[in-house]
Structure 1
């Protein structure tokens, strides 16, 4: 446990140091800009690490739920736990997030603490980290595109498409498979099962919000297409609008 505490502490300090460096390098930007850079970097690193553990290093989360933690799983969860502690502290200090996101962060932190303390079930929790974090880089990229005025371009459309696709396919679909394996297995703790179900409910709430976003976007596009087809857009001559 001393080794794990040291890893989590070093992770927390490393993310905090990185955030401080970003703030110094981007003095003309907001604090949120620097924090989201840290979030983007964490999302990329942890997605790669947790994906490697879940898909290649093993054990397979759908058949070995509740198995003993491996050293690599401990390293990945310690790295992630340090980040979540940093991010929760930042969100509370700047009061930028709502209750749902704070609840999500708290559940994630408690789940990783329990897993690291018990010494088992890192297999399925690491898989949950993978399906949850894989959409995070796209979410941060979307925010940066908005800040730079590049969101309403083809690049913004591509980012939105892959974000929704991966969220529904992995976080909702893959998450359901992981939760089923976790709940039906006799090995994981009942506390972890309850926490996992609560996390999945949070993901479902996020899915409803994403569904509303997609609906608004599609209605807006349909309205634009209908306007173009009906000829309600201004005509142009040599680049200048002409009156009807």
Structure 2
């Protein structure tokens, strides 16, 4: 049954990709792929949020427990997407080694969870924390393509992305990582997978921190230049007024 759900998910994401391709004929393959990624991000965040916060059980206290039907469905939907995206990235060679490693580890983790029938609880929690920033990342890319990135909206998207990544993926992720490592029910192989995913999260966090620092510094320097120009113009106006008098 999980295999059938994964195959259906993969076919579904492929169909959506081709649908976007036939709709946005003037756009390239990456535009359509990112629309699929955005769709998956929104859907899987809503689905795993329901799994974690409503359906249960709570991942911080029930790590390593047997998968529920809804957890299995969420994992299958996500795995089908990752198969699609990994294939697309390899085909078009758009991603670097870190992102490909992230995809490979994600696929391996999802396959193991579905195969063994346990740890779906915490894996759904990890998916929620990992994917909650994805829609913002895609929105940022679309804003760039449409020439709207250098605006207040672009700054808001970046700020919210950095905040959510730091608080949810790294902050809450650290707590979940600790709970997984100390859980007597969680299998060793899942703990090792957790170590790799946590390490990758920190690699991304360092890159994001650098980006945030560079963007903030550039904005501050631009503000200083504008302030100086305004001051010079004000002095010129004042000087001209004095001569007129």
Once residues 115 and 195 of structure 1 are traced to their aligned partners in structure 2, the CA distance between those partners, rounded to angstroms, is: 11
Question: The residue matched to 1:138 in structure 2 has which SS?
Answer: helix
Report how far residue 10 of structure 1 moved: 0.3
Which protein has the bigger helix share? 2
2:71 aligned with 1:68, yes or no? no
Normalised by the size of structure 2, how large is the TM-score?
Answer: 0.93
CA RMSD of aligned residues (A): 1.3
User: Which residue of structure 2 lines up, in the alignment, with residue 88 of structure 1?
Assistant: 86
Per-residue deviation, residues 90-130 of structure 1 (Å, max 9, x unmatched):
00000000000000000000001001111110000000000
Q: Alignment partner for residue 149 of structure 2, among 148, 151, 155?
A: 151
Alpha-carbon distance between aligned partners in 1 of 2:168 and 2:196, rounded to the nearest angstrom: 17
Q: 1:199 and 2:200 equivalent?
A: no
- In the TM superposition, what whole-angstrom CA distance separates every residue of 1:49-69 from its partner, at most 9, and x where no partner exists? 101111111100000000110
Q: CA deviation at 1:156?
A: 0.4
Distance 1:223 1:188, change over 3 A: same
Q: How far apart are the structure 2 equivalents of 1:231 and 1:153?
A: 21
Task: State the Cα deviation string for residues 31-60 of structure 1 (Å, max 9, x = none).
Answer: 000000000000000000101111111100
Work out which of the residue numbers 8, 11, 14 in structure 2 matches 1:10: 8
- 1:232 & 1:104 partners in 2: Cα distance? 48
Which blocks of at least 5 consecutive residues in structure 2 are unaligned?
235-245
- Whole-angstrom distance in 1 between the partners of 2:231 and 2:90: 47
Aligned mate of 1:36, from 34, 38, 63: 34
Unpaired segments ≥5 residues, structure 1 = 237-244
Tell me which moved more, 223-232 or 13-22. Answer: 223-232
Displacement over 6 Å in runs of 4+: none
Aligned-partner Cα distance in 2 for 1:210–1:22: 30
For residues 1-244 of structure 1, what are the structure 2 equivalents within 5 Å? 3-231=1-229
**Does the residue aligned with 2:165 lie in a helix, a strand or coil?**
helix
- Alpha-carbon contact 1:227-1:233 (below 8 Å) kept: no
Q: How many Å apart are 1:186 and its aligned residue?
A: 1.1
Q: Bigger radius of gyration, 1 or 2? A: 2
Deviation for aligned residue 1:231 = 2.4
When the two structures are superposed, what TM-score results if normalisation uses the length of structure 1? 0.94
